[in-house]
Chain A
Amino acid sequence: MIRVFLSVFSAISLYAVPVIILAILASGILRNVKIYEAFTEGASEGISTVIKILPQLVGILTAVGVFRASGALDFVIKLLTPAATLLGIPAEAMPLALLRPVSGSASLALVSDIIREYGPDSYAGRVVSTMMGSTETIFYTLAVYYGAVGIKNIRYTLAAALIADGVSVIASAWICALVFGR
């Protein structure tokens, strides 16, 4: 069942991008747009976008890298674990909960680790899988998107995104406990 489902989905994702690009080209031709001219015009705008993002990414990723390597993140994890246990989040999943908003590739490695250690069909394995799928690398996303348009004052974006992330973490633990049991 799942195999069929997955192969149907992988077929969809395989065709999605080519079909979208063809549809865009067709629409441009139908509406008499000079498509190649329009394309190069847009693409050259893309270059300046990336140049704007680069310094922001260097800033954020460096700060995050330093914070992680110094052991400060591990300390925060230890500090928060008792509170997390009260909320029903398994202690094994805590490192992921805190690493996830900060680094996507490191979280992926951590998820693989946890799953290998506790088994994919254990409670901890299911919780980290759910967490990984329902959360995002917030710091990276904000740095890229705000960096691209030069926003300095992000107001409440980080706070709101972290609230959503926290809810996602707690929900992952509760839903897995509800659906599969502990």
Chain B
Amino acid sequence: MIEGGEALALVMVLLFPVLLTGLPIAFALLFVSVVWFVLTGSDPTIAPSNMFWFLNKTELLSIPFFILAADILGRSRATDDLVAAADLLFGRLRGGLALVTMLSTIVFSAISGSSVATALAIGRVMIPKLIDAGYQRRFSVGLVAAGGGLGIMIPPSVPLIIYATVAEVSVASVFLAAIGPGLLIGFVFCVYVTIMGDRLRDPKISVPHAGDVKRGTNATTLLRALPVVALPVLILGGIYSGLFTPGQAAAVSVGYSATLASTLYRTPRIPSLWTMTADAGRLSAAILIIMAATSVFGYIITQERIPNQFAELMGALGVTAVVFILMVNGLLLFLGCFLEIISVILITLPIFKPMLADLGIDPIHFAIIMVLNMELAVITPPIGMNLFVISSISRTPIAQVFRGTLPFVAILIAMLLLVSYSQSIALFSLRLLG
């Protein structure tokens, strides 16, 4: 039996090579946790008990529900109708098709709660159109990968729900606070693609319009997109009016999406809803099991008093809020390159949490900082999930997708600094609407 601190150090060193073997992240975290239990002579039955009680929470219901709702809408004709409406309104502007793509990702972000779902749904429709219209492949794939990242910033967002659950703050407040910075980033992205879109396009190719859905009049095109655009209004409106909790709002979005898909869009057909629900269940399980495993790892970190020791160290070094946020940004950017974003939030947040009160940092402001870092993580290699998704659906090498996202990475870093050091910008929507 060895002392806890030494065992934890050993476990930390062991975690990285174990992850690199390709062991699922949840199992890697559980593996090193079990090693810690054995080394310190602790009772390993704590691990499954901890997982059970972590998962036995109402707040977590929203995660599988939002994933299912996004899957239903993503596989329906909703995306095509959304693109057609955006094209009708903005397609004739400068950088039209690129702007339409970015606007579609912003709206879909407010439906899906996931960056991968957003990148997948919009990328599937728009990347071939952008390339056919003469836009550089690198620009096209980078645009969708980066735009898809907004899926975790604009509520409803699964990482925001996870943050609120762990930090013990109101999901509704975090959602409200994230609307402002999310839309601000979306706006800056739109300005960039409008300016750069035409410069990075082959002028010899004429620009087709985005929507290849059969159109009736302009009014019907807009009307068809209306039910999709109404979904975020319904979800957020329901939460803030007190009609339902975030978890119940997610269930409503499932019911709404399924109703739309089976009546208005008639895609996917009812039988495939069965497969889709099972797929969403499998994906949700993959995310929730990581969260449960991280709760075991979190137990060890708490047992070793790491958050307190970290807080004491920061206090002894005289670290101010400004320096702390800078350090956190650096650490999260680094970890985001190597770990899956949910794991990053779950592992680091319990360590940072005691420091927030000590340094007078608003936990809701910190949520925005943390999730913006994670938005960067989904488009930076080697673990950037959006890079993999876009590379796979567009058959483009990952390196080229990453080069395409670089201007957006630069914009996001600038926005991260702005949001980190200006609480009034980070929380303007919360103060305005809250």
A-B complex is real: no
